[in-house]
Chains A and B, each alone.
Chain A
Amino acid sequence: MVIYLETRKRGGDKQMYMTLIKCSFKQQIQFKWDLLFHIIGDWLRIYIKICIWNALLMAGSGDGADFKSLAAYTIVASMVMLLTKSHVAEDLSDRVRSGMIAVDLIRPISLKWYCFFNQIGENLFSLLFEGVLIAVISWKVWSLPIPEIKIIIPFVLCLTMGIIIMFYIQYIIGLLVFWMKDGTYTNMITYALFVMFSGIEIPLWFYPDWLRGIGQALPFRFIVHEPIVIWLGQMGVREIAFTLMMQMFWLMTLFLTERNLWNFIKKNIEIQGG
């Protein structure tokens, strides 16, 4: 009976998260001008990057990379960026600062997963309305190759874990606000590290060894760089397996950190305002 109730509840939660995704979808669709400017922004960013790669390749400093793989890298990185966008750290800091967090905590749900699925809803919306358009057009324009299914499966797996890793990092940084009372600088540092070491702007293979060494020790490259390298077919089976294992390791580490932090917060929480 207990097990039955438990599974029924889980099933119920799944429905709740689906409804949540639907709701954040509906929310996004109201802002059509916002969407238009997003699309324009995406194209500008891609255009600028492609121009830079072209210039670099012509100057002969492409490090052996050809235009097609760089273009593919740029496009896939844009998709990954749409999917890993997360404002959970900022949201949490705002809510903790203003005391609005009280409202989140009186619901019978996990704050973490509520934030996660709300974000996923938004990101899926971006992927569908911005990403697909970008992908289709760029693939046509630059006639980029599409990898085989035996690459796409590990890619999707790797990407999914990357998205969760990114979310966990953001969520943990957000939770720190319970002490810091202001999340601006922790967010800035995290974002800087992400831009630097995830490979979202520049593929990590361009980095000097010492900088790459630092990147190796951080979880950020598993969010963007590694999935793209898999997509580009530059990773063998053993390397793919190793990458996935490393991602699991990071997920476990982040999961445990988050749990401990949360338990600590639960005992010591202070909620601002009357």
Chain B
Amino acid sequence: MSFIEVKHVTREFKSFRRPDGLKNALCTLFKRDYDRMKAVDDLSFSIEKGELVGYIGPNGAGKSTTIKMLSGILVPSTGSIVTGDIVPWEQRKKNACNIGVVFGQRSQLNWDLPMEDTFELYRRMYHIGNVAYKRNVDMFVELLEMQSFLRKPVRQLSLGQKMRAELAVALLHDPSILYLDEPTIGLDVVVKDNIRKFVRSLNKEKKTTVILTTHDMADIEEICNRIILIDHGKLMLDQTIVEFKKQGTDHYYVEVTFSSNWKPLAIPGITMTENQPLCHTYLVDAAMVPFNLLLNSIPDSYDVTDLTIKKPEIDEIVRRLYKNTGSGEENGKLLHIK
């Protein structure tokens, strides 16, 4: 059995149907209609120990609901979840000792206390032994560069400092699973980078299983080695990053920098996507255009000074997946890609 097993999980929410007009609204005081909505719909996947999984999907896809079920604070309507031999919602407290959770938009720190005191409180809360406690605090303070703000009350910290503190607190008890729910939201490049490196090195050293939800594809690129994509509560795609990126290999970009240009490239399967002075970018369909033909035709049209070939990044593949299939909160469903 895998370390984390999610089998045919569905979670329904009831939502109150609000009618138009005052009269109808008054009627709802006596009789109400509810809509049943599936936030997660027959979802199954399994994750092995030590995996770094990017859990992505458009807004409202059911990502946070899944994380809440995995961490034992929501009960699925049907289906089963086992994380490291525990059914999370049946043994909430025991499960809590095995997991660390960081919600990017919710703080678990005490606003009025400095980090030092919060560390101490969490040490008692999770019954962390002295040796492990000291080792972890030292390690996190160093890796996350927290020394300068350990004694300041949390309310005086910047967002970046707070987020690093959240991570440290969530990991103090050496959890075997770490759930990160949009941990880099609103952070600057340097802090983002710091956090990504930290998560990777943590995974390397402690074999922590990481499940990360994010809208920043650079997070996925730099942290994860597997992607699970869901939309409207349904599993859409479950692949390794390498496989995932292969989806982009059916086309690539060629950026031609030139000193003079006689005519634009006119080969079937090539379209110009950007037209800037002295720099043109083309989208090339790899199946239609042999590479040699492309290379040979460029000198016929341009006096080339530089040539760059770019493969699509994860960001673009995901955007294409969301867009091509008309996804997003209001639109229809993503097609099954798998």
Contacts and interface: CB of A to CB of B under 8 A. Distances in A.
B68 A103 contact: no
A103 B60 contact: no
A69 interface: no
Contacts, number: 75
B103 A103 contact: yes
Contact of A106 (B71, B112, B117): B71
Interface string B97-140: 10101010111101011000100110011110000000000000
A106 B59 contact: no
B74 interface: yes
Interface string A25-43: 0110010000000000000
Given A19-B120, A266-B75, A274-B64, A109 B107 contact: no
Interface stretch (B78-86, B87-95, B199-207): B87-95
A3 interface: no
Contact of B97 (A99, A108, A266): A108
A133 interface: no
Contact of B75 (A20, A27, A107, A269): A269
Q: Which of A16, A108, A109 has the most CB of B within 10 A?
A: A108
A265 B52 CA distance: 33
A108 B94 contact: yes
B97 A27 contact: no
A269 B127 contact: no
Contacts of B74: 269-271
A100 B13 CA distance: 19
Given A16-B121, A23-B117, A100-B106, A106 B96 contact: yes
B160 interface: no
Contact of B106 (A103, A108, A109): A103
Contact of B92 (A26, A27, A105, A274): A105
Interface residues of A, number: 28
B110 A23 contact: yes
Contacts of B93: 108-110
A51 to B, nearest CB: 37
Contacts of A107: 96, 108, 125
A185 to B, nearest CB: 16
A267 interface: yes
Interface in A1-57: 9, 12, 15-16, 18-20, 23, 26-27, 30
Contacts of B335: none
Contacts of B113: 23, 26-27
A270 B36 CA distance: 13
A231 to B, nearest CB: 34
Interface in A164-204: none
A128 interface: no
A266 B59 CA distance: 26
B328 interface: no
A153 interface: no
Q: Which of A12, A102, A106, A271 has the most CB of B within 10 A?
A: A106
Nearest to B96: A108
B71 to A, nearest CB: 5
B165 to A, nearest CB: 14
Contacts of A27: 110, 112-113
A108 B71 CA distance: 11
Contact of A271 (B60, B73, B89, B96): B73
A262 B113 CA distance: 30
Given A12-B124, A30-B112, A100-B106, A106 B94 contact: no
A266 to B, nearest CB: 7
B125 A108 contact: yes
B89 A266 contact: yes
B312 interface: no
A16 B125 contact: yes
A110 B125 CA distance: 10
Interface in A60-117: 99-100, 102-103, 105-110
A29 to B, nearest CB: 10
A273 B39 CA distance: 12
B248 interface: no
Contacts of A23: 110, 113, 117, 120-121
A102 B125 contact: no
Interface in A201-254: none
Contact of A102 (B97, B106, B121): B106
Nearest to B63: A274
B308 to A, nearest CB: 38
Contacts of A105: 72-73, 92
Nearest to A95: B106
Instruction: Return the 8 tightest CB-CB contacts between A and B, nearest first.
Output: A16-B124, A108-B96, A105-B73, A27-B112, A108-B93, A12-B127, A103-B108, A19-B124
15 contacts: A16-B125, A19-B121, A19-B124, A23-B113, A23-B120, A26-B117, A27-B113, A30-B153, A102-B73, A102-B103, A103-B106, A107-B108, A109-B93, A266-B92, A274-B59
Given A16-B125, A274-B59, A274-B64, 13 more contacts: A16-B124, A20-B124, A26-B117, A100-B106, A103-B103, A105-B73, A106-B96, A107-B96, A109-B93, A109-B125, A266-B92, A271-B68, A273-B64
